[in-house]
Amino acid sequence: MKKPILLSAFVLALAITGCTTKQPQFNVNDCASADWQNIGIKDGQNGYSAQRILSHQKICQAAGISPNRAAWEEGRQIGLKSYCTKSNAYEMGRRGYELTGVCDHNLEELHHANMMGLQQYEMSQRIHRPYGYGYYGGYPFLPWYFY
């Protein structure tokens, strides 16, 4: 009886780690051939603030290259148009994330959509974790009356 449970837990852990993706890190080698507008678009789509250029600048400083701030900001503004939408705000909430404070229009609508998504996320977490955090109500074993 323990083998199917153990196997299920292993398959679930493998599925969860297989589904997570990590964005590729920006590194020194990218500085020389960087399309700063495209980098800005991606940063805007991910909700980064204008301070994000400073991290790019710090990385490229080692290569002696300075980012094109104007092209990057132009791209970021394009990317923010897709980030600052009600559908994205809802989707971010549904995944358990709050919006960053980079949107400057429709703030009430975006906040409402994000809160609706967060409520959906909380409900799904309650359904999938009926015993709270941990295994069984925080205990790594079943209470004696379940045996």
* pTM assigned to the model: 0.68
The top-scoring range by mean pLDDT among 16-25, 41-50, 55-64, 99-108 is 41-50
CA distances from 65 to 44, 62, 91 (A): 22, 8, 37
Domain map (residue ranges) of the chain: 25-81, 84-128
Q: Say which residues have a Cβ less than 8 Å from residue 38's Cβ, sequence separation at least 6.
A: 75
Above 60 in pLDDT, residue 29?
Answer: yes
- Of the candidate ranges 23-27, 33-37, 99-103, 142-146, the one whose mean pLDDT is the lowest: 142-146
Structure tokens at 132: 């709270």
Mean pLDDT, range 30-52, rounded to an integer = 92
Neighbouring-strand partners of residue 136: 139
Structure tokens at 136: 């069984």
Of the candidates 4, 7, 73, which has an alpha carbon nearest to the alpha carbon of residue 37?
A: 73
Angle at 117 between CA 135 and CA 104, to 5 degrees: 135
Tens of pLDDT along 88-124?
999 999 999 999 889 988 899 999 999 999 999 988 8
The 3-state DSSP class for residue 139 equals: strand
